[in-house]
Amino acid sequence: MKMKKCILFTALFLFIFARATAQQSNQNKIEELEAQVAELDKTFNVSARKYVSAYFDLSDEYYTIKDYEKAYTNAVKGLRLDSYNMPMQYRAAEYEINNQQYDLAYPRLTYIIEKDDEQKTAKAAKKLLKKIPKDKISELEKLVIQPMFEKSILVVFYPGVEDVYKSAIAQRIEQEYKLTVKTADFSEQENTGNLRNNWDDYLDETVNDVLSRSSEMSLEQILNAWNLTLSDLETSEGKEAFLVNLFLMLGYPEQDYLDFKAQYEDQYDANALINQVKKNYKIDSDCFGILAVTAKDIYSGSENNNFLFGLSSGNTAVMSLNRFVKYTDDKSIAMKRTVMQAFSSVGHVIGIARCSTPLCARAYPNSLAEQDAKDDVLCQTCINNVNKLYASLKQ
C-alpha cells in the first residue's frame, strides 16, 4: 500500500513537473520568437523562408497554449508572405468562423478547396465551410472573385528582385485574382534606352546657383580653402568635390551627402522595358498578359515624369519595387506597397477599368503616403469587374 502511494506521488510529481517545464519552454520559445519576429519586421535582406517560419512557429506556440487570437494574428502575418501554407490558411479561417467573420473565412476556405494539392486540408476546409449559414453563402459568392485558374498571367522578374518579393507577388496575385500565375526569371538586364540620371543636372544647378551668388573674392577664398580651382568646377569630379565641401561647411556629416546622392539613381524608361519584355516573351492564348517586375527606378520617357510605380501598355505592364523598399526599413510596409502595386498592374493586364474607390489596392496613388493609406485588397467594384470579365470569357 505504502509502495503504491509512493509511486503515485512520484508519477503525479513527474506529471506536474513535466507540465511546468513544458509551459516554461513554451514561454521561452514565445519570447524568443516574438523577438525574432519584431526584428524581422525591421530587417532587410533576409530570406523569405526565415521570415515566414518565424511567424508560423509563433502562431503554433500560441495555438498550443490556446491563445487563439495571437495564433491568428501571426498566421495572417505569415500568410501575407506565403499564402500557399494551407494549414495556416485553415487555422485563420477556423478563427474567423468562430468569430462569425464569414466574409474573411469564405475566400480562404474556397482557396484551400481549389488549391490544396494534398487535399487533406481541402477536406477539412469543406467541412468548415458547412459552418457558414446557407443564406450567407450566396451573398458571399458575389463578394469574392470566382476562380478562373484555366487562365494565367506571366510574371517576369528582372535580375535583382529579391526572392521574398518574387514569391509574395506571385502568390498574392494568384490568391486575389484567382487565376494561375506563371513566373519567369528574365536573363537580360533592364534595357537602357532613354536611361536618365538627374544627378549631373542637379550638380550643375547647385554649383551655378552658388557661383552666381558669391563675389569673386569670397569664391576664390572658399575654393582655396577646399583645394579647388575655378577650372575644377568645369568637371563633374570638381563639382562633386565642391558639393561635398559645401555639405560639410553647412554642418552636415558626409553620410548625409552620400544618402542624398543615392537618391539620384539611374532611372529606366518604363516604355523601353515594356518593349523589351514583349520582344522576349510570347503571350499564349490562355494567358492574359505579362507583368514585369524590376528593382530599378522607372519613369516614363514619353511623359517625362519624376518617377513611376508602374506603367502598362495593352496587356503588358511593368512595375518597380525601387521606391517601395528604398525609403523604409520595415519590410512588411515595403511588401504591402509592392503587393498593392502588383494588384493594380494585374488589373491593367487583364483589362478591367481603373478604380476610383479611395482605399482599394488599385486606387491611383500620387505618393508613398497615399499608397500606404490603402488596403492590400481589391474593393467590391474591382471584384465585380473581374467577375464580369471572367464570366464573359466562360461563355
CB of 358 to Zn ion, least distance (A): 9
Does the protein bind Zn ion through residue 154 (CB under 5 A)? Answer: no
Does the protein bind Zn ion through residue 389 (CB under 5 A)? Answer: no
- Contact residue for Zn ion among 132, 357, 368, 372 (CB under 5 A): 357
CB of 363 to Zn ion, least distance (A): 6
Q: Which is nearer to Zn ion, 91 or 337 (CB)?
A: 337
Q: How many C-beta neighbours within 10 Å does residue 51 have?
A: 25
CB of 295 to Zn ion, least distance (A): 26
Q: Which is nearer to Zn ion, 78 or 347 (CB)?
A: 347
Q: Cα separations (Å) of 126 from 130, 176, 219, 295, 365?
A: 7, 20, 79, 40, 39
207 touches 237 (CB < 8 A):
no
CA 192/CA 133 separation, integer angstroms: 57
Q: Which is nearer to Zn ion, 239 or 337 (CB)?
A: 337
Q: Which is nearer to Zn ion, 267 or 341 (CB)?
A: 341
CA 270/CA 312 separation, integer angstroms: 9
The DSSP bridge partners found for residue 310 are 319
120 touches 113 (CB < 8 A):
no
Does the protein bind Zn ion through residue 379 (CB under 5 A)? Answer: yes
Dihedrals phi, psi of 255, to nearest 5 degrees = -60, -35
Between strands 310-313 and 267-269, the pairing is unpaired
Does the protein bind Zn ion through residue 339 (CB under 5 A)? Answer: no
Does the protein bind Zn ion through residue 355 (CB under 5 A)? Answer: yes
Does the protein bind Zn ion through residue 145 (CB under 5 A)? Answer: no
Does the protein bind Zn ion through residue 362 (CB under 5 A)? Answer: yes
299 touches 264 (CB < 8 A):
no
Amino acid in the structure at residue 252: Y
CB of 267 to Zn ion, least distance (A): 28
CB of 177 to Zn ion, least distance (A): 12
314 touches 141 (CB < 8 A):
no
Compute how many residues bind Zn ion; rule: CB under 5 A. Answer: 6
Give me the residues that bind Zn ion (CB under 5 A), please. Answer: 355, 357, 360, 362, 379, 382
